[in-house]
Structures are given as structure tokens and as C-alpha cells.
């Protein structure tokens, strides 16, 4: 491990790393204009009826069936490993209509499974969005305060902000993944993002802690420039970082593998972004947040 | 000295085994009847796993609703659910958002379960002029009954019992209104208008069901009785969200998650042992103990586990392993500096602890924010993450250190056992 990275100067190459990240995020933004967010009814409100019909069908069949019961226009999607599952989405529909619709489905497709239904009022979706924003904002502010205090020797606020920048980077990369692959944005999405926020901040702090410690030892190593110090610290911590990522990523990757094998769509949609987030998290701690902190420090010193 | 260490290690291993046992089968009291400690199997699973119904209701009035009224609403809904024999149902009041949340696990008939649940059920007996004679607050109990009329036909009715005030008022009113009708309104809709034949002084009254089909009528009567019996809600409730999730959907996902978690954990343990050797073994014991403690806490604190909650657990397992890795890498470094094994172990823990604490506290702060300000899945995720983070800190700082210190006191000659390279 040491030998592979021996000659890598993380600080000097930080521009390259940032370009890579920005490219991914830029692709995400482009796709955003093409595809838009695939917002689930958790956020937009509406009704989703899901069932496995037990036979093959065409979307037109379903639309015709819906027309028999209501004039509301649905969006129809096929799902499931056998392609016999259907997801019918409405932006707004009454409870009675849902009941009649379910009955009609059971009538026409005798072997269909019990339909799952979800009705979310648009206001609930807004509440959900609001609560997520508030929760994350409070969390971020609290983290900034804590990090600033604990790492005051590392410039306090600068360390906090660069750590948060690393975090934002991970979230943006993850969101790009969701957009590029058209993964539905629902409650599971929130859970995945939160998981990565918790995880990547963990990572970054371990790195900063080491820098802080090495800095204190610096009295003995006066020969080292800050750049060398940071680079060496990163290499010291590298083994641990890689091992940690491997262990966490392996568990998630296994879950992802199982989910793909058993065609558990919801699980796949949950674990895939999670895996990307984990890898991106490690990458960001080393290649984005820390070099950024270094720049902030040197800029202030020289300026 | 060494025998003391061996004893400590044995104590540690026994502790781990106890935790694992409790996690798997819980603990019963000496008679074997009551369960004192719940096992992992007793963990409540969320709807996304076990299937069931969830509905969120919001009061139909502008402005704030008093906490008292919300508590009243909760009790009334609880009673209505009990009347439908849905004892597993869960009613919660979210005061921040002014919601009432209802969860009914394993229920396959959502339409029936949720029907009328949010209905205000304001019952009024009015005289022909529209004055209210008695209302729901005067009724002690209501139940469905089948009575035989004088002509010998059977009828489904709801039989009501008035309280003393109601009995008096009703008695007086029926005295004055013989030959005229009293109208019965439910939520301002007329449901019955019987003619008064004679004064009713017993404090009992019946509302007959309109339907001629006896089974249909019985269902109506049971529902109406339940509504009246539970009392009128202080306000109307409208549905904010409702979900019915088929049970097969989530249970497979849970199955897969557990299998993946098991395999993942085993692979992680193998990996740790390969790289860190003896400490790796210690961390594996720690890991198993850690998972056990977390599952026990979830089970005994009655926390519902949802799929995102499982993600939280997987994350905290990753972080628990991480703490160990940080420590072991430090130990290796100290060893490379030529220090003795025991000294390296001590120094390793000492230096690593501050970074572990910082990292975990930061994550814990985030978890608390999520739990306090989040709703639904976010809240559930927050509490699971918080528990995971705190326990992983405690396990790493106390249990792993305890075990490794004692191991290193015994196996203190061979550097290779600690992942170090033999100094040449």
C-alpha cells in the first residue's frame, strides 16, 4: 500500500481530483435538465397502487382499466423480476376510487397479489421536505460548531468548513448518481444520504485528528513544510482509511449483490447509491477536504 | 500476573457469550414464564418490512390544537381500534406537527380497518324544533344488539345507556314529545327519526339500523356502536397520508438484509484477522458483542426497525470496525517504532481514543438532530444511528481495550501476532 502511494503528492494533485468530482457533478446537472428528479410521491404527494398481476400485460390495458373507474390520468410502470408487476401513480385521487380500482384489478387479473397502496397528501410531502432540510441544517451547524472548537488548533472554522465542503461534495455526487440512473427519490433516498453524511464526517475527522496530532509533534520535525506534513499524514492514515472503506463497502456490496440477485428493486435502489457514497466519502476526505484545508491555511499565512 | 489476565479474558468471553445468548433467545424469569429480556426476534419491524397499514391524520381545524385535545383524540382512536379487535395497532400523537399517526401491522384489510377511524362521530338527539336534547357526552356506553320486535321480526339496533343527566333530560323530553319524532343526527347527518310512543325513563334508547339485510345491518350497528362508544372526537380528522403495504414485499427484503449482514460480518472478521492477527481476533469478539448489544437495546427499548434503520445499523457496524482499525493501526506504528508490545497497545489506545471520540460524537450530533427534527423514516434512522454510535464507542473504548490489554499481557513476545513485522 505504502509503495503504491509513496510518490503521490495529494496536495499538488488536488486540482486533478477536484476536476474529476466536478465532472461527475456536471454530468449529474446535465442529466437533471434531461430527466429531472424522479420524485416519488413521498415528496410530491399522490397515490401509488402496486401489485403483481401474475400475467403479462400492456400499459394500455391498465390505462383502459383505470378509465373504467375514473377520469384521472395515471402513470403506469412495469416492475418486478418477471415484468408482471405494475405500479400505477396518480397525482390526486379519492379513497373510494382507490378501492374500486383495487377491486377491478382483482376482478380482471385473478391471480394478482394483494395490491399495496400508498396515499400521501401533498402537504405531507412538503412537511417531509421541510423536516429533512431543518434536520440536516441543524446537524450541519452543530457539527461545524463542534469541529471548530475541537480543532481550533487546526484553524477552527477553516477545518469545520472544509470538512463540510467534503460532505457537500459526497451528497452532490450521490444525488448525481440518483439523477443519472433515474432512481426514485423517496424516504429511502433520505436515509441513504443521511447514512453517508454520518459516515463521511467520521472519515474526515479521523484525518484531521491525525493532522492535529502531527502538527503538535512538529516541534520535533521543524524541517517539514505544511505540505509535507499533510501528505505524510494522509499516507499514514491511508491504510486505515482503505481498510475501513473495504470493510464497510464489502458489507454494502454484498447486500447490493443479494438484492440484484433476488430482484429486490427497493433494496438495489437503496444500496447502490450508498456504495457510491461510501467510496466517494473516502475519496473526498483525502483528495478534496484535506487539500482544501491546506489551501485555506497557506492562503491565510501568505496573505 | 498472567493468571489474572487469563481470568479477565475468560470473564470477557463469558460476557460476550451471555450477550449473544440473550440476543438469540432472550431471558425468562426463574419460572420460565415471563420474559425479562427480549431477544432479537422480538424486535418490532416497521411496516415496510412486516406489511400493514399506516395512516396519518390531521385535525380539520385552523390554528393550533391543544395538547389535551390531541391526547383525547388519541384515546378515542385507540378505543375505536380496540373495538375493531385491532389490538396490535399503534396510535401516536406527534405534537410538533399536530398529527395523529396510526399503524396497524400485519393487517390485510385496510379499508375496513381504517373506515370511520377519523370520523368525528358527534351524536345528537334533537327535538322537532331542532333543539338538542342529549348528545354523545350523555352516553355512557353503546353496543350492538339484536332485538325481536313485537311482530316477531329481528332487528339490528345500537343500544345506548345514558348517564344520570342524560336519563333525566331524555325522560323529560320523551314525556313532552309523545306522538312526535326525535331526530338522531350523526355528524349533522340524520340517521334515524323514531316516533316517541311513550316516555322513556330507563335511560336506555335504541337506534335501529335502516338496512333490511340483517348481516349488513349488524355490521352497521357494530360500527356505529363503536363510534358512539368511543366518544366524539374534539375535531374532525382528515387523512394526510395512508399506506397499505403487502406483507410479502418487505419480509423478503428483511431476509436478504439479514443474510447479507451475516455474510458481510463474517467476511469482515476474516479480513480483520488476516491483517491484524491477534487484535483481529479480539475485534471479532468485540464486533459480535457489539451487534448483540445493539440488537438487545433495539428489542428491549421497543424501537421499530425499518429498512432505513437497517442501513443505520450497517453504517454503525462499519464505524465500529473503523474504531478498531484506527486503534490497531496505531498499535502497529508504535510497534514499528520499536516499543514493547504492551506499551504499544497502551499507547495505541491512548492516541486513538481522541480521534474515535471526536468522530463518533460528530456523528452522534447529526443523529440527534435527525431524531429531533426528522419525521417518519428520518426519525427512526436517527435513533438507530445514535444507539449504534454510542455503543460502538463504548465497546471499542472499554471492551476491546480490556480484552486486548489482557491478551497482550499474555502474548507479549511475538510482534507478528499484532500485525507488526519482526524487527530485524
C-alpha cell recorded at residue A273 = 447509491
**Given a cut of 60, is residue B248 above it in pLDDT?**
no
Which residues on chain A are in Cβ contact (under 8 Å) with B357? none
What is the structure's pLDDT at B217?
A: 82
What is the structure's pLDDT at A6?
A: 56
Closest listed residue to residue B48, CA positions, set A258, A184, A186: A186
What is the structure's pLDDT at A1?
A: 45
What is the structure's pLDDT at B404?
A: 87
What is the structure's pLDDT at B424?
A: 37
Determine the residue of chain A that is closest to B275 in CA distance. Answer: A243
What is the structure's pLDDT at A80?
A: 65
> In the predicted model, what is the mean pLDDT of residues B10-17?
89
Which residues on chain A are in Cβ contact (under 8 Å) with B317? 251
**Given a cut of 80, is residue B308 above it in pLDDT?**
no
| Res. A11 pLDDT band, cuts 50 70 90 | low
Number of Cβ within a 10 Å radius of residue A3: 6
3-state secondary structure of A223: coil
B209-233 pLDDT, tens digit per residue, is: 777 777 888 888 888 888 788 777 7
Angle at the Cα of A243 from the Cα atoms of A202 and A10, rounded to 5 degrees: 75
Determine the residue of chain B that is closest to A243 in CA distance. Answer: B325
| Ramachandran quadrant class, A94 (left: phi over 0; alpha: psi -120 to 50; beta: rest) | beta
What is the structure's pLDDT at B289?
A: 92
**Given a cut of 70, is residue B330 above it in pLDDT?**
yes
Share of chain A above pLDDT 70, in %: 89
C-alpha cell recorded at residue B321 = 470496525
Which residues on chain A are in Cβ contact (under 8 Å) with B351? 213
> In the predicted model, what is the mean pLDDT of residues B334-346?
84
Which residues on chain A are in Cβ contact (under 8 Å) with B361? 146
What is the structure's pLDDT at B391?
A: 92
Q: Are B142 and B160 in contact (CB under 8 A)?
A: yes
- Region of poorest pLDDT, from A165-179, A180-194, A288-302, B393-407: A288-302
| Res. A220 pLDDT band, cuts 50 70 90 | low
> In the predicted model, what is the mean pLDDT of residues B318-343?
84
**What ipTM goes with this model?**
0.74
Q: Which residues pair with B141 in a beta bridge?
A: B161
Determine the residue of chain B that is closest to A164 in CA distance. Answer: B362
**Given a cut of 60, is residue A44 above it in pLDDT?**
yes
Which DSSP category does B423 fall into? P
- Interface contact A264, partner B, CB < 8 A: yes
Mutation for testing the A interface, residue in B329, B354, B356, B393 having most A CBs under 10 Å: B329
- Say whether A191 and B308 touch across the interface (CB within 8 A): yes
User: Among partner residues A134, A139, A202, which is closest to B322 by beta-carbon distance?
Assistant: A202
What is the structure's pLDDT at B93?
A: 82
Nearest CA distance, A248 vs chain B (angstrom): 5
Collect all residues with Cβ–Cβ distance below 8 Å to B111 and sequence separation of at least 6. Answer: A99
What is the structure's pLDDT at A8?
A: 66
Tell how strand B27-28 and strand A116-120 pair up: unpaired
Question: Cell 499524514 identifies what position?
Answer: A233
- Say whether B370 and A139 touch across the interface (CB within 8 A): yes
B242 vs A300: CA distance, rounded Å: 55
- Say whether A114 and B246 touch across the interface (CB within 8 A): yes
**Given a cut of 70, is residue A91 above it in pLDDT?**
yes
Supply the mean pLDDT for chain B.
81
Return residues 35-64 of A near B (CB < 8 Å).
none
B86-119 pLDDT, tens digit per residue, is: 777 778 887 777 788 888 876 667 777 777 777 7
Provide the b/e sequence for A184-203 (b: ≥16 CB within 10 Å).
Answer: bbbbbbbbbbbbbbbbbbbb
C-alpha cell recorded at residue A226 = 505544511
What is the structure's pLDDT at B333?
A: 83
- Interface contact A244, partner B, CB < 8 A: yes
What is the structure's pLDDT at A302?
A: 46
What is the structure's pLDDT at B79?
A: 81
- Say whether B110 and A117 touch across the interface (CB within 8 A): yes
- Say whether B377 and A187 touch across the interface (CB within 8 A): yes
Q: Which of residues B125 and A156 earns the better pLDDT score?
A: B125
State which of A202-206, A273-277, B45-49 shows the largest mean pLDDT.
A273-277
B195-208 pLDDT, tens digit per residue, is: 888 888 888 888 88
- Region of poorest pLDDT, from A99-103, A136-140, B109-113, B371-375: B109-113
Which residues on chain A are in Cβ contact (under 8 Å) with B283? none
- Taking one residue from A and the other from B, the number of pairs with CB-CB distance under 8 angstroms is 219
- Say whether B365 and A246 touch across the interface (CB within 8 A): no
Closest listed residue to residue B44, CA positions, set B101, B88, B102: B88
Q: How far apart are the first and last CA of chain A?
A: 37
User: Among partner residues A134, A146, A202, which is closest to B373 by beta-carbon distance?
Assistant: A134
Alpha carbon distances (Å) from B134 to A270, B5, B127, B164, B406: 56, 79, 10, 11, 78
B58 vs A61: CA distance, rounded Å: 36
Which residues on chain A are in Cβ contact (under 8 Å) with B373? 131, 134-135, 138
Which residues on chain A are in Cβ contact (under 8 Å) with B375? 127-128, 131
Amino acid at each position: 500500500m505504502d509503495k503504491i502511494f509513496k510518490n503521490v503528492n495529494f496536495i499538488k494533485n488536488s486540482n486533478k481530483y477536484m476536476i474529476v468530482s466536478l465532472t461527475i457533478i456536471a454530468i449529474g446537472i446535465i442529466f437533471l435538465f434531461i430527466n429531472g428528479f424522479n420524485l416519488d410521491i413521498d415528496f410530491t404527494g399522490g397515490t401509488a397502487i402496486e401489485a403483481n398481476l401474475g400475467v403479462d400485460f400492456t400499459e394500455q390495458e391498465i390505462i383502459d382499466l383505470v378509465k373504467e373507474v375514473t377520469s384521472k390520468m395515471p402513470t403506469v410502470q412495469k416492475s418486478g423480476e418477471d415484468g408482471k408487476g405494475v405500479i400505477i401513480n396518480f397525482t390526486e385521487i379519492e379513497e373510494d376510487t382507490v378501492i374500486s380500482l383495487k377491486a377491478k384489478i382483482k376482478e380482471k387479473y385473478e391471480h394478482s397479489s394483494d395490491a399495496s397502496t400508498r396515499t400521501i397528501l401533498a402537504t405531507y410531502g412538503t412537511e417531509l421536505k421541510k423536516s429533512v432540510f431543518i434536520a440536516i441544517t441543524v446537524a450541519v451547524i452543530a457539527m461545524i460548531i463542534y469541529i471548530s472548537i475541537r480543532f481550533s488548533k487546526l484553524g477552527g472554522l477553516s477545518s469545520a468548513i472544509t470538512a463540510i465542503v467534503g460532505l457537500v461534495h459526497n451528497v452532490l455526487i450521490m444525488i448525481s448518481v440518483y439523477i443519472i440512473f433515474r432512481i426514485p427519490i423517496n424516504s429511502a433516498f433520505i436515509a441513504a444520504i443521511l447514512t453517508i453524511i454520518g459516515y463521511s464526517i467520521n472519515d474526515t475527522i479521523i484525518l484531521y485528528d491525525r493532522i492535529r496530532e502531527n502538527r503538535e509533534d512538529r516541534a520535533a520535525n521543524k524541517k517539514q513544510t505544511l505540505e509535507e506534513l499533510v501528505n505524510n499524514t494522509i499516507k499514514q492514515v491511508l491504510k486505515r482509511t482503505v481498510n475501513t472503506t473495504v470493510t464497510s463497502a464489502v458489507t454494502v456490496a454484498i447486500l447490493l449483490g443479494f438484492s440484484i440477485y433476488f430482484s429486490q428493486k427497493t433494496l438495489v435502489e437503496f444500496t447502490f447509491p450508498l456504495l457510491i457514497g461510501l467510496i466517494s466519502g473516502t475519496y473526498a476526505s483525502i483528495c478534496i477536504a484535506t487539500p482544501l484545508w491546506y489551501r485555506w491555511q497557506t492562503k491565510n499565512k501568505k496573505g | 500476573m498472567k493468571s489474572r489476565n487469563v481470568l479477565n479474558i475468560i470473564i470477557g468471553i463469558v460476557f460476550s457469550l451471555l450477550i449473544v445468548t440473550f440476543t438469540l433467545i432472550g431471558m425468562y424469569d426463574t419460572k420460565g414464564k415471563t420474559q425479562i429480556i427480549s431477544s432479537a426476534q422480538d424486535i418490532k419491524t416497521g411496516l415496510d418490512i412486516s406489511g400493514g397499514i399506516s395512516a396519518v391524520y390531521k385535525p380539520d381545524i385552523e390554528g393550533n390544537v391543544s395538547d389535551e385535545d390531541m391526547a383525547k383524540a388519541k384515546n378515542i382512536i385507540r378505543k375505536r381500534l380496540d373495538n375493531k379487535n385491532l389490538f396490535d395497532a399503534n396510535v401516536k400523537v406527534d405534537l410538533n406537527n399536530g398529527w395523529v399517526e396510526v399503524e396497524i401491522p400485519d393487517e390485510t384489510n385496510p379499508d375496513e380497518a381504517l373506515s370511520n377511524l377519523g370520523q368525528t362521530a358527534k351524536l345528537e338527539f334533537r327535538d322537532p324544533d331542532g333543539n338538542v336534547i342529549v348528545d354523545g357526552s350523555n352516553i355512557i356506553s353503546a353496543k350492538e344488539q339484536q332485538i325481536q320486535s313485537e311482530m316477531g321480526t329481528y332487528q339490528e339496533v345500537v343500544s345506548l345507556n345514558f348517564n344520570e343527566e342524560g336519563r333525566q333530560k331524555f325522560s323529560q323530553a320523551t314525556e313532552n314529545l309523545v306522538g312526535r319524532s326525535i331526530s338522531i343526527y350523526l355528524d349533522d347527518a340524520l340517521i334515524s327519526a323514531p316516533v316517541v310512543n311513550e316516555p322513556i325513563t330507563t335511560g336506555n334508547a335504541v337506534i335501529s339500523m335502516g338496512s333490511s339485510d340483517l348481516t349488513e345491518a349488524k355490521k352497521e350497528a357494530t360500527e356505529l356502536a363503536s363510534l358512539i362508544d368511543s366518544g366524539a372526537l374534539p375535531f374532525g380528522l382528515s387523512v394526510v397520508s395512508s399506506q397499505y403495504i403487502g406483507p410479502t414485499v418487505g419480509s423478503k427484503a428483511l431476509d436478504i438484509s439479514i443474510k447479507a449482514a451475516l455474510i458481510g460480518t463474517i467476511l469482515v472478521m476474516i479480513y480483520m484477522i488476516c491483517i491484524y492477527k491477534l487484535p483481529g481476533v479480539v475485534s471479532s469478539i468485540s464486533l459480535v458483542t457489539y451487534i448483540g448489544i445493539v440488537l438487545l437495546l433495539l428489542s428491549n427499548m421497543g424501537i421499530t426497525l425499518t429498512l432505513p434503520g437497517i442501513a443505520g445499523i450497517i453504517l454503525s457496524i462499519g464505524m465500529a470496525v473503523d474504531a478498531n482499525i484506527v486503534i490497531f493501526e496505531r498499535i502497529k506504528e508504535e510497534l514499528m517504532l520499536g516499543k514493547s508490545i504492551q506499551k504499544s497497545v497502551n499507547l495505541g489506545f491512548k492516541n486513538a481514543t481522541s480521534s474515535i471520540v471526536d468522530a463518533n460524537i460528530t456523528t452522534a450530533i447529526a443523529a440527534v438532530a435527525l431524531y429531533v427534527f426528522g419525521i417518519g423514516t428520518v426519525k427512526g434512522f436517527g435513533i438507530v444511528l445514535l444507539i449504534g454510535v454510542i455503543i460502538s464507542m463504548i465497546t471499542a473504548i472499554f471492551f476491546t481495550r480490556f480484552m486486548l490489554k489482557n491478551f497482550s499481557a499474555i502474548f507479549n513476545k511475538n510482534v507478528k501476532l499484532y500485525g507488526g513485522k519482526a524487527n530485524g
